[in-house]
Every structure is written in structure tokens, then in C-alpha cells.
Amino acid sequence: MKINPAYEQKITEIIEDMTIEEKVLQMLQISDQGNEPGVYEKFIELNTGSFLHELGESTDKLREKAKQTSSKIPPIFGIDAIHGHSLKNGATIFPSQLACACSWNEELIEEMGAMTAREVCADGIDWVFSPVLCMARDTRWGRVDETFGEDPHLIGKLGAAIVRGYERDGNVISCLKHYIGYGEATGARDAYDTEVSVRKIRETFLPPFEEAIKAGASSVMTAYGSISGTPLTKHKELLREILKEELGFCGFVVTDWFNIWSMRTKQRSAESFDESARLAIEAGNDMSMNCKEFFESVTQQVKNGEISEELINDSVRRILRVKMGLGLFGEKVRPDKSVIGCSEHRELNKKLTEESLVLLKNNGVLPLKEAPAKIALIGPNADDIVNQYGDWTFTSHRPSEEWAVIKNDYYTLLRGIKEIFADSEVTFAKGCDICGADSTDMEKALIAAKNSDVVILALGDELSQNGEGKDRAVLELSGLQNELAAKIKELGKPVITVFITGKPLCVREVCELSDAVIQAFNPGDLGGLCIAELIAGKFNPSGKLPISYPRASGAVPCYYNRYTGWHWGKYCDVDEGSLFDFGYGLSYTEFEYSDLSVSKKEIGAEEDFEVSVTVKNTGNMDGKEIVELYFKDMISSVMTPEKKLCAFKKINLAKGEAKRVTFKMNARDLAFVNPEGKWITEAGEFEIYAGGSLDTLLTAELSVK
């Protein structure tokens, strides 16, 4: 966000008229969950600065209430609109962030952000707690589904795109979370300590935040965890010095849920709530999420002189700046509620869902050239919308009575297959559950498979295995799924496997026995329709993985941009590398890369240069291709990754068509962070790689003087 000088004087005047109590209330966000009865009501009367998870009419009521208080400052309403306005029954549910990342499509993701903002704003809400810019490198972590994957460059570009979308109309603000290093917790234990250096933070974890701040993000959420033993909530260097002073972030910082209490009770890093609140404010947090004690504690400490009123004024200024920018002080005109779940949003959702699917294997069985007479659709995720939606929707976060009737016009795979293969006889059997050893349905599934011409097998994970606090120690397919797949294989039918999951699982056995494999990370409302259309060849798959697949649970992390130097480069008991690499994904056509060239042989440390490569569609179908550009610093004073993504482009190529794709680069794109914490491009030799996946790259050379 940018400072609007016209508002700053007004804000100064408002702050001058505010009591300390009113100021501290602005810094509090309160929920009707997690507090004793009566607390929420008390804070409504007091005119608290922010509420979370209210929907629709209740926001109108609370806004009206605020007008009747002495300060009259309007509240700001926040919500976890993580993949669409997803906590609302009937709103558009887009694919999860991880699924969207498979599209590598900044334009579509920006539109998704804009549409989500429209639905949220129509529903009385001003603030989405999205995007998640955490890095999913240890995939045992429960929140992998919420991320854009494992690569800082891709996360930064997609994060910036969605922020542009969310904040485009000036009606809604985004929230970058979780600041910072949250996904990197030791053992992938959610909200746990992270053992990384501040140098590593700067080089790997900070760039996506920087990119999204440049794109206009107005708020940031402090992570639950700690870095090398310092809770993020009191990490002054990272919050106040780096985020606010160095990056010039002028929006506000909100803690995560109960962070201030957690610093006292779980992290045991403050003597008392008072101390915890003071440290949090001094470190740079401007708003406390849902700690009711914050009000009295901070008010008292400001009155006693233990917390400087200047710090409070700065936080209040940041919050009011955002509120004013959102037009909350006037009579805000919100989009009509009819935008919620509207057909325009559904159309975009369709395009994004198509591009979110990744074809991982195809021995030629796909697309199905002719509709099979008999299809056996088997598997626990063939008709389960709760697992298909994944985390952060009304089905995961709202009481089930509220969604006994789902208002969304959603497609599970069963509905999609029946509709797209309307002339085929479709037999459905679950076969087994995702978890547990109940085999009562196995026989039915095997009979269906035996009597079919083709088996479509929908496996994966379930809600209990994805989300906050649902870290997994075992990433292999759970329950009887491997057994089901193996028994089906014995019947000798073509097997098309669809994984509907929140994250990459260890799926080597099933991939080996399948003729084709499609990955659908929680694909939202239209997942089942798009998967069925992909199988039928109604569109050409173009998704590529934003994350690597481990070969075994014990082989995580296996992210591609790691350092080299490991003795013999592999575990002794599993094959080398990932099962599927970052950047991998098949198409129904083929793309040929040639003539990689760099515009200059030698460049200065800040000089521009161009990289060009020709891409030709040599197959029989029009298609979209993601052109990936990587580099390697051949010798560097501090170790640098084996390969690092530095640019990408998604292009359309008709069959037979060739395009010359040019990337405008600067030597700074080849930089790393030195031990003093500065980005430098060191003189020396570099290799530049371009291609459609890590194992098919062309190489060119470049020197930096």
C-alpha cells in the first residue's frame, strides 16, 4: 500500500482526539470464538477495532453499533477467505492455493483474488487473511495445501498477483502470512520453532513478502512460531527493523490467533501477559488477534509509561490509514450480494481449475479417444466434496448443521464422469476409506472393475490429514488404498488414477501400476467436472508442479533448489531425487525447445541482459506451455542451490506453432545473500537453463565481471 498524504493529516486529528482506551481498542481484533460468554458482547459495546469471521448481516449490525459509540471509528472485518470466500456456504470455492500454483498463471490468480474480494466485500467484509506466503518444503507440515509450493520466486510472483487482485478495487485488503519461516518449523511441527538464520530468512523466505508488499499488500500476519528460539511475536529485528523500516511496509501487522498469550504460556518467553503484550508491541505488532486481556493490560501500561504512547500512535495510524483507504469512514458502497457464487466467477473458476490439474503419467491411454462402454469409478475420493474442498471452507470450519445443505453447485468426480461420459455405463464403488481397514466395499469395487473397460481410481487424503495442526509423520497413502489399487491392477484393465489430495503424497507404487495419473490438489467446486473433461480430452492439461514429490516419508524435504554436497547424493534405501520434480507436468502435445541464447557473454553486476529460447508445439493438439528459466552460480563464496528458478512464462502454442520466448533479466536476478545479509551478484561463471521441466533443460553460459 501507499501512503495517501490527504489522509495523514486527518488521521493525526483523529488520533489527537482519541483517549488511550480508544486507541488500544483499535489495536484489538476480537472473535466470538475462544472467549468466555459475554466477552464478545462487551467488546462490541466498547467499539473494538476489528472483528473476525463475521458474515453478512452481522457485519452490518456491528457497523451500525460502532456509529453509536463516542469515537465512531468504523471496525474492520477480517476473514479466512483462503480459496474464495470459502467459509460461506454458497460462495465460489476456488482450488486451494497449492492447486492454483500448479497453473503458474499470474493473470488467472490475480482475477481469482479480485473475484474473491468482490464476494467478500459484498458480504460486509473488508479484509482477507490471505495469501499464505509460507514455503512448503517439509511436506509433512499440515498446511502445505495453503501455500503456493516450495519455490521463493514462484511464490513471490503468484503472491503478488493475488494481492493485486484482492486490493484492485480498493474495497478489500490482503494479509501476507505467516511472517515468517512458519512452514520451515523443525520436524514440520505446526507453529513450532524454526532453526534458520536471519541470512537464510533474507535469501529464501523474505523475497515473496517483499514482492507482495511491492504489489500493494496492506497487512501482514505474524507467525505463531519462533526463529532460533525467539518467538516471532517479539522478533523486533524481523518485524520492526526489516519489515517496517527496511522494506518500508506502511500497512499494519496483526498477530496470529492468541499469539500474545502463547508467547507467555506455550513459548514461555515472557513473565506475564503484560510483558508479552509490551514485547509484542515493541517488536512491531499493531493489532492483537483475539486476546481480550490486551485491552486492559496495554491501556494500563501506556498510562504507567511502560509502553510508549508514540508506539501506540504509530500502530493506530497504520490501522486508520488502512481503514480510511478502504473507505470505511464514509458510506461504503459494496457490490450487490448477487456476486456471491455468480456465473462470471464460476467461469473463471473453471479456467483456473483446468489449469490447476497436473498430468503426472500417461502411457497413451489419455485422452480417452472414445467413450468406454463401461467405466468403473472407484475410490474413496471419487464422491467426497469435503475432501475435495480441503481445508478452510465452510465444510471444514463451520458447524455441519450450517451446511447440511450445501448451496454450491459443485462437482465431485462421480458427477463429472457421469455428465461427461453420459453414454457410458458408470459404476461407482468406494472400495475402501482413506483411513482405516474397513474392506467391506472392496469386493464390490473389484466386481465393478472386472466388468469395466476402464477403471478410474480416485485416491488421496482426507480433511483429518490436512490443515492446521494436522502434520503427518507418514506420507504414504493411508488405509487400504495401496491394496485396493494393487488388486485392481491384477484385473488387467487400464487404470487412470486421480489423486485428490492436499499435498504431494508418497505414491510410487500406485503410479507404477497406473496407466495414467492426474494430480488434483483440493480442486474446489468444479474439480470433478474438470478432471472428467481432462480425461475426455476436452482440454489439454497444462499444470506443472509447484512442489516436489518425496519418494518416501523419510526422504522429505526433497525440494529441488537444495545445496549440493551430500555424500553420494541419496539415501541408501530409496532412489535418488524426487518421484516427480518441481516444475514437472505433462501435456497431450509435445513441446520442443531449441536455440537457447543469452544476449551478452559477459555482464556487470547490475547489468540487464536477455535470455531467449524457441519453443515449438510438435504434437497434435493446441496447448499451453510453462517455460521455466533457472540458473546456477558455478562457484560462490557462500553455497548456492544446484538450480534456482529465476523466471517463467506461460504461453499458448497452436499445434505446429513455434514462438521465440524472451526473458528480460538483470544480473541482480542471479544474486544471493552474503553473510552480512546483503544481496550480491558475485563475479564469475553462471549457467542459464531453459526448458519445460528440470530434466529437459537446455544450457547456456554467462559471465559476471
Shortest distance, CB of residue 397 to ligand BGC, whole angstroms? 8
Binding ligand BGC by CB under 6 A: which of 22, 80, 581, 669? Answer: 80
- Binding residue for ligand BGC, selected from 21, 237, 241, 468, defined by CB under 6 A: 468
Shorter beta-carbon distance to ligand BGC: residue 254 or 376: 254
Residues near 442 by beta carbon (within 8 Å), at least 6 away in sequence: 431, 432, 480, 483, 484, 487
Which positions ≥6 away from 147 have C-beta within 8 Å? 97, 98, 101, 132, 133, 134, 135, 136, 155, 183
Subset of 373-432 contacting ligand BGC (CB under 6 A) = none
The minimum distance between CB 468 and ligand BGC, in angstroms, equals: 6
| Rounded-to-integer distance, Cα 93 and Cα 682, Å | 45
* Residue 57 beta carbon to ligand BGC: minimum distance, rounded to whole angstroms: 21
- Among the listed residues 542, 433, 528, 544, the one whose alpha carbon sits nearest the alpha carbon of residue 93: 528
256 binds ligand BGC (CB under 6 A): yes
Comparison of 80 and 628: residue with beta carbon closer to ligand BGC? 80
Instruction: Say how far apart CA 387 and CA 381 lie, in whole Å.
Output: 7
Of 693, 696, 695, 543, the closest CA to residue 623 belongs to 543
Q: Which is nearer to ligand BGC, 39 or 536 (CB)?
A: 39
- Contacts of residue 399, Cβ cutoff 8 Å, sequence gap at least 6: none
Nearer to ligand BGC, 162 or 671 (CB): 162
Q: Which is nearer to ligand BGC, 129 or 689 (CB)?
A: 129
The residue among 111 and 256 lying less far from ligand BGC, judged by its C-beta, is 256
State in angstroms the smallest separation of the CB of 83 from ligand BGC: 13
Helix, strand or coil, per DSSP, at residue 574: coil
- Provide the mask over 561-580, with x wherever binding to ligand BGC is found by CB under 6 A and - wherever it is not: --------------------
In the complex, minimum distance from the CB of residue 700 to ligand BGC, in angstroms, rounded to a whole number: 42
Is residue 516 a contact partner of residue 366, using CB atoms and an 8 Å limit?
A: yes
- SS3 of 22-45: the string is HHHHHCEEECCCCCCCCHHHHHHH
CB of 342: closest distance to ligand BGC in angstroms? 25
**Does 252 sit near ligand BGC (CB under 6 A)?**
no
The torsion defined by the Cα of 155, 160, 161 and 166, in degrees rounded to 10, comes to 120
Question: In terms of CB distance, is 29 or 71 closer to ligand BGC?
Answer: 29
On whether the CB atoms of residues 371 and 532 are closer than 8 A, the answer is no
What is the closest distance, in whole angstroms, from the C-beta atom of residue 80 to ligand BGC in the complex? 5
Whichever of 472 and 489 has its CB closer to ligand BGC, that residue is 472
* Residue in 215, 228, 225 with CA at minimum distance from that of residue 165: 215
Residues 437-466 that bind ligand BGC (CB under 6 A): none
In whole angstroms, the minimum distance from the beta carbon of 290 to ligand BGC comes to 8
- The label of the residue with cell 473463471 reads 348
80/633 with CB nearer ligand BGC: 80
Q: For residues 82 and 694, which CB has a smaller minimum distance to ligand BGC in the complex?
A: 82
Task: Report helix, strand or coil for 234.
Answer: helix
Contact pattern from residue 282 through residue 321 relative to ligand BGC, giving x for each residue in contact according to CB under 6 A and a dash for the rest: ----------------------------------------
For residues 614 to 643, the per-residue mask of contacts with ligand BGC, x marking binding by CB under 6 A and - elsewhere, is ------------------------------
Question: Which C-beta is closer to ligand BGC: that of 146 or that of 628?
Answer: 146
Q: How far is the CB of 180 from ligand BGC (least distance, A)?
A: 13
Query: To the nearest whole angstrom, how small is the minimum distance from the Cβ of residue 177 to ligand BGC?
Result: 6
Residue nearest to ligand BGC (CB): 129
Kindly determine how many residues on this chain lie close enough to bind ligand BGC according to the rule CB under 6 A: 6
Q: In what order do the strands lie in the sheet with 28-30?
A: 127-128, 76-79, 50-52, 28-30, 288-289
* Footprint (CB under 6 A) of ligand BGC, residues 126-185: 129, 177
Cα–Cα dist 523/531, whole Å: 9
Euclidean distance between CA atoms 503 and 526, whole angstroms: 19
Restricting to residues 483-512, name those near ligand BGC by CB under 6 A.
Answer: none
Helices (H), 49-130: 57-67, 97-101, 106-122
Task: Tell me: does residue 83 bind ligand BGC (CB under 6 A).
Answer: no
Minimum CB–partner distance for residue 309 and ligand BGC (Å)? 29
Q: Between 285 and 561, whose beta carbon lies closer to ligand BGC?
A: 285
**Chain centroid offset of residue 533 CA:** 25
What is the amino acid identity at position 392?
W
Nearer to ligand BGC, 80 or 126 (CB): 80
Smallest distance from the beta carbon of 122 to ligand BGC, in angstroms? 21
| Contact (CB, 8 A) for 684 and 669 | no
Q: Determine the length of the chain.
A: 705
Could you say which of 43, 127, 257, 686 contacts ligand BGC (CB under 6 A)?
A: 257
Min separation Cβ 215 and ligand BGC, Å: 19
Q: Work out how close the CB of 302 gets to ligand BGC at its nearest, in angstroms, rounded to a whole number.
A: 26
Number of H helices, E strands in the chain: 22, 27
SS3 167: helix
What SS3 state is found at 165?
helix
659 vs 119: CA distance, rounded Å: 38
Task: Write out the binding residues for ligand BGC, residues 6-45 only, by CB under 6 A.
Answer: none
Site of interaction with ligand BGC (CB under 6 A): 80, 129, 177, 256-257, 468
